[in-house]
Structure formats: structure tokens, C-alpha cells
A = this chain, B = another copy of it.
Amino acid sequence: MVNFLSIFTMRNLFFLSLALNLSLIMRVFYEGEKHGPHGLSARKADSGLEKAAHATQRTLVSLSSSGQDDGEKLINLDHGDPTMYESYWQQMGEKTTVVIPGWQSMSYFSDVKNPCWFLEPEFAKQVVRLHNLVGNAVTEGRQIVVGTGSSQLFLAALYALAPKDASEPISVISAAPFYSSYPSMTDYLKSGLYKWAGDARSFDKEGPYIELVTSPNNPDGFVRHSMVNRTGGILVHDLAYYWPQYTPISSATDHDLTLFTVSKSTGHAGTRIGWALVKDPEVAKKMIKFIELSTIGVSRDSQLRAARILEVIINSSQNPGRPESGESFFKISHHLMAERWQLLREAVNRGRFFSLPEFQQGFCQFLNQVSQPQPAFAWLKCEDESVEDCESLLRDHKILTRGGRSFGVGPKYIRVSMLDRDHNFNLFLKRLASIQT
């Protein structure tokens, strides 16, 4: 903990203290699916750094020795369900609330003057503000296309980029380990426009192709660039995890077509809102057409909610600590992720059964400090020779994870969500420890 803290300036200590308090409160008060207003009283908690840190550790120790885990509860870490963030949003209180009267946003149309006629202007405005603040993507000269999550935008991109009159479908590739849904999403409709062609590393077919570059990568968390880099290649950058809590923000990306989503940036997965930054207006137009044909636009309610959430995050970063803006979302989330990764590495390093990827630290322009990648998923490898199928092993301990085969590699690997609620994350750590003993 001391090493980790040493990178914080004195100013940051104040925020860290509050972050630790939040973390503590989450552990003490949080009991599962149901939420109540009780979390709001947590603001009165003591904000002394050491006291909070010690209390946090006491809570963890108490959890691991109290017998709260009888090993029977199934923990689902298969999906990247970002419920970890609920506690931050509870703490933020009413400023995050959206109120939508019955007569509002009834029309199909959000903005008839925008080529993306279903894009809420307020959402577009906050997206630009957020990227300018975080510095993770250039927005100038881009068409913003909103989607029902970035999944829909991924499909819209394939539709927009695939030649319409080609003799055969264009190849879609990504370097293994790749996001497990890419193959099925590409092929489930047996489209004549595009077809999954597997691992980009072994792709040697002539002609045009679409390469999906996920950076930081899902599942393994590494920063990525195009693997093929050949004439006729079209790149789609999925930057769902290029946010300060997961990875150092080294520069503003400037790609042709980039995907983002609120699921991973703010934690609002149930809202189903993603956005694309698209350089070529003709490509954007085709993506818009895809969304028109598949869902006649994107929920305006959800866009309004997402706009509110992004605005709160921006305010919390610009004026952290003030009552009207609250504590910095990215600083608190970064701290929570750092803490979880530290705990996970400690648990893994207690034995030789598992290993984790090792990342290079980097300077984060947004946090203005050197920091470690701390991905939304842990890409665990079973090093033990007796284990062939790591997913099955974890399932025997009532932990659902996703095995390496889904990502185009072997069954020695599993992907584990790092974004679940504290209680489940702590049970996961405890069971991981028990497997190694």
C-alpha cells in the first residue's frame, strides 16, 4: 500500500482518503443486489487516511475470517458487469438523477439537422467535453454516431466498411486473445457482406480485410496496435477500456473509426449507450443507416441519462471535492482498481498455481502521474501442470469465468471480471487463496 501511495502528491492524498472511505463504506454497508438510501449517510464517515485504510483492511480480514463465505454462493465473474461503480454513484446522490416527464422525447427524431438524426445534442456535447477533458481521443472533424451500446456500433461499422458488391464477404480479424463475442457477432446472421476470419496473427489471405484493434485489449489488458498493417486493411478501434481507471492515458487517439461505451467508462451497462467517432462522413452515414434499419435510432431516454452521467463525471474532475461536484470519478475509480489489482496480485503471488500478465507502467496525462495498467479483466493463467481446464477448476469452486478457448487461445487461461461488487470480489480472492493451499 505504501508503494502505491507514494506516487500520490499531497493534494491527491485528500482525494485518496475520500476514495478509501468510499471503498470502506461500500464494504461495510453493501449487501448485494438491493440498494437503499443508507449509503448517503456515509458522507459523515471519518476521512482520516490511515484510519480509513486500517479500517478497510480490518474489514477485509474480518470478512475472510468470519466465515461469511461457506463456498456455496455462485459468483458470476464471466461477464464484465460493472457493478463495482454503483457505490460511487450512490455517494454522488441526487445530482446524478434524471427526471423524464411523460411528454418528453416522444418523437423518433433527436436532431433533424444532424446526419445522425437520433443523436441527442446534449449527449453529443458531453461526449466532446469528456474526451477533451480526459485527452483520450480527438473529436474534431468527427461525426459522433450513438449506438445501443458499442455492440451495435461494432456491427454498424462492419456494415459500413464492407464493400456492398464484392464477390465474397470481407474478412474480419483480430489478434488472439480477442474479445470472445467478435466471432459470433460477426457470423450469427451469415452475412454475405463480412465473415469472421480468426486470429490476425495468422491471417494471410489476399485482399481487403477489417481488423479489430481493442486497446487496452479485452481480455488481457495490453495496449494494442494493428497486427497486419497491409494494403486494403481497414481498422476499427474498440477503445472501451481506454479510460484513466484502467490504463495510463498516453495520448489522444486519432483513428478513423473508434468505439466507446458508457458500460465500461461510467459503469452504466444497463443503459445501453455507446458512441463512435468517425472520420469519413460516408462511413458515418452508412453506420447511421444500419442503426435506422436495425432499431430506428437509439433510446433518447438513455442518451439523456448518459449525458447527465457524463456531465457529473466532468464536473467531478474539474472541481473535485466541492459539494456541488463531488469527488473525482476517475481518481476514485483509479484508486479502487489499483487496490483490487494489488490484492489480486498478492493473492496470486502467495502460490505458484496462477500467474497474471505483467504490465509496463506509463505516464498518464490525465492523472498527471506514472501509473500501472489495471485492466477491467484479470487474464489468469493456470500454471499448475495438473490443470488442463482452468475454467472448470474455478467452476468447481463456484466461480464462473470465461475460458481461453472463447478468446482464441488455450484452456489454461481464464478471463475474470474485476468490476463486480466488493463482496463478490472479496469472495473471489478468498477462494483463489483456498485453491492454492
Q: Which residues of A contact B (CB under 8 A)?
A: 35, 39, 79, 81-83, 85-87, 89-90, 92, 94-110, 148-149, 151-152, 155, 159, 181, 184-185, 188-193, 263, 267-273, 290, 293-302, 305, 308-309, 312
Contacts and interface: CB of A to CB of B under 8 A. Distances in A.
A294 B151 contact: yes
A101 B98 CA distance: 6
Contacts of A293: 151, 181, 184-185, 188
27 contacts: A35-B104, A79-B108, A81-B107, A81-B109, A82-B106, A87-B103, A96-B103, A97-B99, A98-B99, A102-B308, A106-B269, A108-B263, A108-B270, A148-B298, A151-B294, A151-B295, A151-B296, A159-B189, A185-B293, A185-B294, A188-B293, A189-B189, A191-B191, A191-B192, A272-B300, A299-B299, A301-B302
A79 B112 CA distance: 13
Given A100-B98, A193-B190, A106 B83 contact: yes
Contacts of A190: 191-193
Contact of A97 (B101, B106, B185, B300): B101
A266 to B, nearest CB: 9
Contacts of A191: 189-192
- Nearest 3 pairs of A and B residues by beta carbon: A96-B102, A190-B192, A89-B103
Nearest to A97: B101
A148 B299 contact: yes
Contacts of A263: 108
B301 A270 contact: yes
A180 to B, nearest CB: 12
A87 B97 CA distance: 25
Contacts of A149: 295-296
Contacts of A181: 293
Given A295-B148, A296-B272, A300-B270, A102 B89 contact: yes
A68 to B, nearest CB: 21
A294 B98 CA distance: 27
Nearest to A191: B189
Q: Among the interface residues A79, A105, A267, A270, which one has the most CB atoms of the partner chain B within 10 A?
A: A270
Contact of A294 (B85, B97, B102, B294): B294
Contacts of A86: 103, 106
Contacts of A185: 293-294
B193 A189 contact: yes
A100 to B, nearest CB: 5
B267 A106 contact: yes
A118 to B, nearest CB: 8
Given A97-B100, A192-B191, A294 B108 contact: no
A99 B99 CA distance: 5
Contacts of A83: 106-107
A82 B105 CA distance: 11
A152 B100 contact: no
Nearest to A421: B107
A16 B195 CA distance: 58
Contacts of A295: 148-149, 151-152, 272, 295
Given A148-B148, A189-B189, A190-B191, A105 B296 contact: no
A155 B159 CA distance: 16
